Amino acid sequence: MMLETYNLTKQFNGKGGFKDVSLSVREGEVFSFLGKNGAGKSTFIRTLLGILYPTSGMGLMLGKPIGDVETRKKIGYLPELFQYHTWLTGYELLYNHGLLYKMKKNEIKARIDEVLKIVGLEGHEHKKIKQYSKGMKQRIGLGSAILSDPLLLFLDEPTSALDPLGRKQVRDIIFKLKNEGKTIFLNTHLLSEVELVSDRVAILDKGEMKKIGTMKELLHSPLMLSVGNCSEKIINELKKIDPLLERVGNDIKMSVERDNDLPKIADSVVKNDGLLYMMKRKENVLEELFINTVGEEDVR
Amino acid sequence: MRCIIRLTLLEMLKKKILYLTLALTAIFLIFYGIAMNYGYDSLRDAEPLMRIAVSGQFLSMGIYALGFIVSFLSIFASVGSISSEIEQGNYDAILSKPISRYEVVVGRYIGILLVLIPYATFFYLSIIGLNLYFGDGVVANIVTVNILKSLSVLYLLPTLLTSVGLLLSTYLSTMGAGVTLVILYFCGMVGGILEQIGHFITGEAKVVLTSIGITTSLVIPSDIVYRKASSILYTTSSGMNFSADNMLGASIQPSGLMLFYIGFYIIIMVVLSIRKFQIRDL
């Protein structure tokens, strides 16, 4: 396991923070931590990294107790509001972060060139950070997080300051890192991001963990069909796949776990003289799950 | 730790604080030099006692200004050393790296002193140099060894005030730490002046003023450093002391034991700073 926590709790004078969070993150997976603003997501990461001290419970990161200084050599972290000395240039920032990682000077220089390419800041490295846009600051922060080629990467709202193109670039970076076998712990409230990149998800609400599981376990994304000439014969065929399907007029809602069943469903409709106008999985299911979990009123 | 020292030095250079300070110091030294030129010229035909008294005032004035400026630089450089970084959220990026918290505190402390001590040396030697140059034949015999001894003692001033600023910076906001240290510094200064005044009076008032001076010196011994450094400087090779008998002078010499107290005080301040930074949430 890359990360394990057991009843980890951090509270401020008995309030806020998070309570009794137990979870584990496996090697090579993208683990997303979902929650509203103020749910305790950032506090959780900051506690894992030793910036805050836990009130109770324990945690292991790469097999060592959380807060272990040497372990941080293999950890990357992009804080939610990436702040760093704005009087430095992007290059100087990365160079100094390399020194903080105790990397060798020539190793840092070589790695900076790679990182600048990855985060798309080539040509901007000699500008002062105070001249950077929000998105550029976020990218240089991401660059700093991946500088040491970490095994475990914590990204706290990595796309919050980015435009759609910037978000896509960050997603691509996440996929690339995942393909390289890195483990990523992603804090976000952007559900669309989570659906695209995550292997497992946990939902935190008011400091308490409400749900945890793989995307598949948590999301039973129903299949929606719109069928013309929808006969009883078609319905009976489809019930062989989902006996509990719901039908309203020409619209059918089914629970289908395996994508392998989809051609069979289309075949059943067409062979029985049905007209298949539409067949797709229902969108925004994570949003539904999230709202149901944390409460609609709270979300508003 | 070297990276934190490096970042502290870079901060001073990049924010142009150092250049501004050096430029203003140069302006001060030019005005001071002009004043010394005319001042010493007017003393050449004066009575020997008058020459000694006034040249002592000239030197005291320069050393006093030096002490004051170095003190304020130490205060301003140190009170935000930890707190401003916390306020700006910089430690999230720094402490997620393989660096211990004590390295941050000690690195900041050393980084600030690496700027302040050369600055104090330059300023001090400039003051002495201007007095010796323009006051050739007027200034009483100043012994080279005493110049070096006095300078060594003077190094305690930024070392001391930076250590207190560092400690306050781990507990309070930059503003809070700044206000507290400025008030403490002035308490120490006023206490020192009261102690000097106590030297000229008698009776119960002498006891009270001297006691206040001693108490404030224990709480914040910055004034002691200045007076000890002055006192050493004004001691001639024959052992006579020409310290000016005024508020800026050092008629009462702080004991050598007090220097040990200051050394111990500084160590305690740094240790407490490390301890506080180690245990606090950031």
What string of DSSP letters covers A83-99? Answer: ---TTSBHHHHHHHHHH
Question: Is residue A207 within 8 Å of residue A39, measured between CB atoms?
Answer: yes
Q: Is the pLDDT of residue B250 over 60?
A: no
Range of the domain at B162: 2-279
A-chain residues near B91 (CB < 8 A): 51
Tell me the CATH class for A3-215: alpha beta
Task: Judge: B98–A70 Cβ closer than 8 Å, yes or no.
Answer: yes
Torsion of CA A190, A195, A200, A202, to 10 degrees: 30
d(CA B226, CA B72): 13
Main-chain dihedrals φ then ψ at residue A251, nearest 5 degrees:
-95, 130
**Binding-face residues of A in 237-256 toward B, CB within 8 A:** none
Task: Judge: B99–A69 Cβ closer than 8 Å, yes or no.
Answer: yes
Buried b (16+ CB within 10 A) or exposed e, B90-120: bbbbbbbbbbebbbbbbbbbbbbbebbbebb
A132 touches chain B (CB under 8 A): no
Question: Is residue B228 within 8 Å of residue B160, measured between CB atoms?
Answer: no
A51 touches chain B (CB under 8 A): yes
> How many domains, in total, are found in chain B?
1
A9 touches chain B (CB under 8 A): no
Residue B175, min C-alpha distance to chain A (Å): 19
- pLDDT above 70: percentage of residues in chain A: 96
Main-chain dihedrals φ then ψ at residue B259, nearest 5 degrees:
-65, -35
A165 touches chain B (CB under 8 A): no
Q: To 5 degrees, how large is the angle CA A98–CA A100–CA A102?
A: 75
- Cβ count near B179 (within 10 Å): 14
pLDDT digits (tens, 9 = 90+) for A2-33: 899 999 999 988 788 899 999 999 998 999 98
Residues of B contacting chain A (CB within 8 angstroms): 2-3, 6-7, 10-11, 14-15, 88-100, 279, 281-282
Q: Which pLDDT score is estimated for A169?
A: 80
**pLDDT classification of A185: cutoffs 50, 70, 90:** very high
- Decide: helix, strand or coil at residue A210: strand
Locus of tokens 């600051």: A137
- Cβ count near B9 (within 10 Å): 16
A-chain residues near B279 (CB < 8 A): 53
- pLDDT above 70: percentage of residues in chain B: 92
Residue B144, min C-alpha distance to chain A (Å): 42
Q: Which pLDDT score is estimated for A298?
A: 52
CB pairs under 8 A between A and B: 74
A77 touches chain B (CB under 8 A): yes
pLDDT digits (tens, 9 = 90+) for A65-91: 998 898 999 999 998 877 778 888 999
Tokens of B179: 């206000």
B-chain residues near A52 (CB < 8 A): 281-282
Buried b (16+ CB within 10 A) or exposed e, A77-113: bbbbebbbbebbbbbbbbbbbbbbbebeeeebeebbe
Q: Give me chain A's average pLDDT, please.
A: 86
d(CA B267, CA B271): 6
The residue count of chain A comes to 300
A-chain residues near B98 (CB < 8 A): 69-73, 100-102
Cα first-last separation, chain B: 19
d(CA B243, CA B248): 9
B-chain residues near A85 (CB < 8 A): 7, 10-11, 14, 90
Question: Is residue B111 within 8 Å of residue B7, measured between CB atoms?
Answer: yes
Q: Which pLDDT score is estimated for A299?
A: 47
Nearest neighbour of A96 by CB, restricted to B7, B279, B281: B7
Rounded to two decimals, the ipTM of the complex is 0.77
A130 touches chain B (CB under 8 A): no
d(CA B82, CA B85): 5
Task: Judge: B14–A88 Cβ closer than 8 Å, yes or no.
Answer: yes
Task: Judge: A141–B93 Cβ closer than 8 Å, yes or no.
Answer: yes
Q: Stretch B133-149: mean pLDDT, rounded? A: 80
Q: Which pLDDT score is estimated for B207?
A: 85
**Spans of all domains in chain A:** 3-215, 223-281
pLDDT digits (tens, 9 = 90+) for A235-283: 988 988 888 888 888 899 888 877 788 898 999 999 988 999 998 877 6
Q: Are strands A30-34 and A200-205 parallel, antiparallel or unpaired?
A: parallel
User: To probe the interface with A, which of B12, B87, B92 has the most A CB atoms within 10 Å?
Assistant: B92
Q: Where are the beta strands (DSSP E) in chain B?
A: none
* Bridge partner residues of A33 (DSSP): A187, A202
- Which residues, in sequence order, are CB contacts of B210 under 8 Å at separation 6+? B194, B195, B198
Task: Judge: B98–A83 Cβ closer than 8 Å, yes or no.
Answer: no
Task: Judge: B97–A50 Cβ closer than 8 Å, yes or no.
Answer: no
The closest of A55, A45, A46 to A12, measured between CA atoms, is A55
Helix (H) or strand (E) holding A7, with range, is strand A3-12
Q: Stretch B34-38: mean pLDDT, rounded? A: 90
A84 → chain B, closest CA residue: B90
Residue B2, min C-alpha distance to chain A (Å): 9
CA-CA distances (angstroms) from residue A148 to A43, A153, A289, B91? 23, 10, 36, 18
Dihedral angle sign, alpha carbons of residues A181, A187, A192, A198: positive
B10 → chain A, closest CA residue: A88
d(CA B184, CA B161): 10
Task: Judge: A50–B95 Cβ closer than 8 Å, yes or no.
Answer: yes
Helix (H) or strand (E) holding B222, with range, is helix B222-233
Strand A64-65: give its sheet, edge to edge. Answer: A64-65, A56-61, A3-12, A15-25, A208-214, A200-205, A30-34, A183-188, A152-156, A75-78
d(CA B142, CA B137): 11
Q: Which pLDDT score is estimated for B140?
A: 64
d(CA A3, CA A200): 13
Q: How many CA atoms within 13 Å lie on the side-chain side of A47?
A: 27
A85 → chain B, closest CA residue: B90
Residue B83, min C-alpha distance to chain A (Å): 14
Torsion of CA B249, B253, B257, B260, to 10 degrees: 20
Tell the burial category of A200 from Cβ atoms under 10 Å away from its Cβ (0-12, 13-18, 19+): buried
The closest of B21, B29, B169 to B109, measured between CA atoms, is B169
pLDDT digits (tens, 9 = 90+) for B167-217: 999 999 999 999 999 999 999 988 888 887 877 788 888 888 888 888 888
- Which residues, in sequence order, are CB contacts of B162 under 8 Å at separation 6+? B74, B77, B78, B81, B109, B112, B113, B116
Q: What is the DSSP letter of B241?
A: B
CA-CA distances (angstroms) from residue A127 to A91, A121, A124, A133, A289? 8, 10, 6, 11, 43
